[in-house]
Each structure stands twice: as structure tokens, then as C-alpha cells.
Structure 1
Amino acid sequence: MPTDSCLESSMKHAKKFKEYFEDIRPVTDEELEELLNDSPSKNERNKKLKKAKKELYREH
């Protein structure tokens, strides 16, 4: 029956969801401050590269 495979798929998804959220833990004040003080340069560089690739593919 198709409903069995749908239910089975939902159960697998729920299990993955539960496992994902079990790994999450609260961030300490020190970790939060460190994250806030990190420079976003690497992230900005990645955004610029992605934008350049999009422009290149649009041209061709």
C-alpha cells in the first residue's frame, strides 16, 4: 500500500529530525562573543565568488 511507504518515510524523517536536534546545545557567553567578534571576510568572499559565477553563467 502506498500509505505504508509514506508512513515509513515520515518515520525516517522524524528520526533524522530528532537526531539533529539532540546534537544542538546552548551557546556559552564566551562562544557567543567569539562568534560575534569573528570577521565576516571569508563569508563575504564566498558570496562574491558565487555572485561572479552567476554572472559568468548568465553571460554564456
Structure 2
Amino acid sequence: MMGEAQLVNRTKFISSLKNELVPQFNQLSAETRVPKSRLLDEAIEDLLKKYEKRRALY
């Protein structure tokens, strides 16, 4: 696989976003200078915490 970066601590996956979220997401990354991958990590971590709390109730 020449030309492709080796990911050691990350896993590549493909998804999609609502069209109206893309410009806001791009702007947030640009304004904060935080890479989109790190913003996605934070969002997924928050979701996992949210749903873990819900699972604890059942």
C-alpha cells in the first residue's frame, strides 16, 4: 500500500453527515484549529458516555 499513511492509533471508517452540518463542522475545526478527527473522537466519547448512563438505568 504505497502512498497510504499507516494508522497506528486510529482506525479509518467511512460515514456521512447531514449536509447542513458539514459547513458548521468545517468552521468549528478551522476556528478551533482542532483536527476534525479529534473533534469526532470527542463527539463519539460524549455519545458513549450519554448512552452508558442510559444503559445503567435498565
| TM-score (norm: length of structure 2) | 0.37
The structure in which a higher percent of residues are helix is 1
Q: Which has the higher contact order (CA 8 A, sep 6+)?
A: 2
Mark the structure with the bigger radius of gyration: 1
| TM-score (norm: length of structure 1) | 0.36
